[in-house]
Amino acid sequence: MLNGLMNIGQSALNASQAWISVTGNNLANADTEGYSRQYVDQKDAGGLTYRPGAQPLGVNAQQIMRFFDAFLERSYVRQNANSSRWTEQDTIMASLENIFNESNRKGISSSLNNFFNAWQDLSLRPDDTSVRVSLLSYADNLNDMFSNTMTAIKDIQHEMDVSISQGVKRVNELAESIADLNRQITYMTVDGISNPNSLLDKRDQLVRELSTYVDVETIDHGKGNFRVQLSTGQPLVDGVETYSLSVEGPMKEEQIQPGSKYDGQIKFDGSDTHEYTIEIVEGGDATTGAPKFRVSLDGGKSWLKDTDGKELHYDITTAKDKDGNDILDKDGNPIVEEIMVKDLKISFTSHENFTAGDKFVITPKDGLYWNEPTRGPQNITPQMGFDGKENPNRVTGGKLAAYFNIRDDNCGRYMDELDAVASSLIWEVNRIHSQGAGLSKLEYANGTQRVENTTRPLGSHQAMLPNGDRLQSGNVNFHFYDKDTGDHLTSSMLEFPAPDGPNFDPAKHSLEDVVNAINGVKVTLSNGKEVQAFSASIQDNKLIIDMHPDTNGEVEFAMGADSSGLMAGLGINTFFSGTGAQDIAVNTQIHNNTNLIASGQVNGQFQVNAGDNSIATEIGKLVDKKITITTMWKTVDNQSLGQYYANLVTTVGADRRLSKTNTEYHGALTQDLYDRVTSVTGVNMDEEMTNLIKFQHSYTAAAKLITTADEMLQTLLGLKQ
């Protein structure tokens, strides 16, 4: 009995000592980030069957454990990914918003107004050289604003690429560290006896940091059998095994359906922020028919449409020579022609057995991939649809989602819309200007727009002419004048041969056909001799018009009415060159000679008067004119250029407001979960001080028990005396 009292006292001393040690450790780590409050797992040691009943054996201090709520931790990790994503996205959106902020400085909007005001000034004084120089100055300033804005957006995209690379590297490092901790935890865990609490805390901290980069979830089967996986299911850590993420360059994949006989691959050239999904809608052989495909830029949620709202279908054709025969590659197979789709030139390696339903996916950018050793990389790049909803099968949380969404969705949309403004400006101004005349007539004209395939109809996707879809059936007027006297000699139109002529048809006539038609134009000289007027040619895939040597330098010309838009499309007698916001510029010919700025036009008496302001007036009215402005994913036909750009600025502001709102919302949820987690795992100084006093008294009481047992033993031994 007395021996039992001694054992009970000893076990109580050990338990109290363990509690005091743990309490002291809690106090010491009260401010240590990631430390979980610990406690002693103690249990009744049981008892022995004995008279007068079961004799107790004291207490067992089995192991030191930590206060931890797995459900709260998992909830916090998931929410932390959302909060990190929106916090990072809002920070970057603030920089993007500043690019378009014109509240305290001049930008594109004011430059656009100044440009059109300069045209209105020219309409008041069309023969004033200083006004023409001023117009060029305002035009150059507008072009610089477009270019600088695009450059600023691209700089942010570059910063996103750097951040993505660093983020992916850190994710892989964290995965390796967690796997290493799993290995140590397995080795150091003794069930029911020893728990490596500090290692468990460290692992939790690494998982929390990992969740700031990507949205992850955890599955814990005990010890080191701990799995960290993306919310889409792909594991990053599975026990001691790791799987890496990587940033891969432009990629493509074929999704050939069962039964399809197509054995070729898709090819592409170019880059874009969107991911292209190509689906064959009509099968067949490109040499005997015209297989067709459609394109989606948001994973198949929506398909590209033309300005009339009809779904765009692209013909797959083979390259032909002048005689209409297929051009063959080195293996003797017909070559499939490239097709321009937005910013990509798309083609195929095989011309036959296209099957409806086959899909091809092109990722013309650096993307995020999960690497599985036996299956290769899987695309998990965050993807936002044009409906504003994210692809749930891709990464949606963490900083990496913010970086990709900013780079591809936000910057991509803003650049597309900025290009749409610049492209529409170029077209609308050039469409009017190309039909006008300045203070000086023309002796030559250099086209500014490149035609990639000079043998294909200019309105086709294979020709790849910017604004080729805007061309119409019609004709072009040329007016010829005696260079010395200025007298009108004759006027002519283009004439295309039957059966496709005599007018220009963008669905039938190529650049080579246009050159032949221009070279067929005749002019009657002042001496009555009829000669070939022009010597047109193609240089660097652009149209060049020069006077034919037979005119003996006696003739100059002016452009007249153009019902087809052909000259504007090819960049002849135009004010602007370039195709979008990055390369918009004033035509070099006009920059070298302001007299070529078309302020007027050839009138009914075939005269070009210095005081004619018809063209300048019409261009000046573009400031308020409702025009059609198109991106590949939307068409607006009821706004002016200024209104469209103002709406773009509003969109940027709305996106910033969205990111700010989500930052506040998810930040509040994350903070609430963090408070709940720390209420379980955090160290409360007052509570620990109370425990210290409590277990100090417990220790004293246990020692008193041993003293009492010793005194009883001494009394018993004293009976022998």
DSSP classification of residue 310: P
State residue 50's pLDDT score. 67
Neighbour count for residue 127 (Cβ, 10 Å): 16
In angstroms, rounded to a whole number, what is the distance separating the alpha carbons of residues 128 and 326? 56
Strand blocks (E) in 623-664? 627-631, 634-639
Name the CA dihedral angle for 153, 159, 165, 171, rounded to a multiple of 10 degrees.
-100
State residue 573's pLDDT score. 97
Q: Is the pLDDT of residue 197 over 80?
A: yes
Name the CA dihedral angle for 181, 183, 189, 190, rounded to a multiple of 10 degrees.
180
Question: What is the tens place of the pLDDT at every residue in 313-362?
Answer: 999 999 988 777 888 888 889 999 999 999 999 999 999 999 999 999 99
Helix (H, G, I), strand (E, B) or coil at 680: helix
Give the CA angle between residues 419, 422, 428 to the nearest 5°: 135
Question: What is the tens place of the pLDDT at every residue in 643-687?
Answer: 999 999 999 999 999 999 999 999 999 999 999 999 999 999 999
State residue 10's pLDDT score. 82
Mean pLDDT of all residues belonging to the chain: 92
Q: Is the dihedral of CA 115, 116, 122, 124 positive or negative?
A: negative
In angstroms, rounded to a whole number, what is the distance separating the alpha carbons of residues 594 and 177? 68
Contacts of range 551-556, beta carbons closer than 8 Å, 24 or more positions apart: 551/523, 551/525, 552/525, 553/483, 554/482, 554/483, 554/484, 554/525, 554/526, 555/480, 555/481, 555/482, 555/483, 555/489, 555/523, 555/525, 556/441, 556/442, 556/443, 556/480, 556/481, 556/483
Residue with tokens 């949380």: 397
Question: What is the tens place of the pLDDT at every residue in 377-417?
Answer: 999 999 999 888 999 999 999 999 999 999 999 999 999 99
DSSP labels for 410-475? IHHHHHHHHHHHHHHHHHHHHHHHTT-B-SS-BSEEE--S--S-TTSBTTSTTT--TTGGG--SB-
Q: What is the CA radius of gyration of the chain?
A: 39
State residue 668's pLDDT score. 97
Question: What is the tens place of the pLDDT at every residue in 253-285?
Answer: 888 888 899 999 999 999 999 999 999 999 999
Q: Do residues 64 and 39 touch, judged by C-beta distance below 8 A?
A: yes
In angstroms, rounded to a whole number, what is the distance separating the alpha carbons of residues 219 and 319? 56
Residue, of 16 and 71, whose pLDDT is higher: 71
Within 13 A of 371's CA, how many CA atoms are on the CB side?
12
Give the CA angle between residues 422, 425, 430 to the nearest 5°: 125
Residue, of 509 and 698, whose pLDDT is higher: 509
Average pLDDT value for residue range 7-22? 86
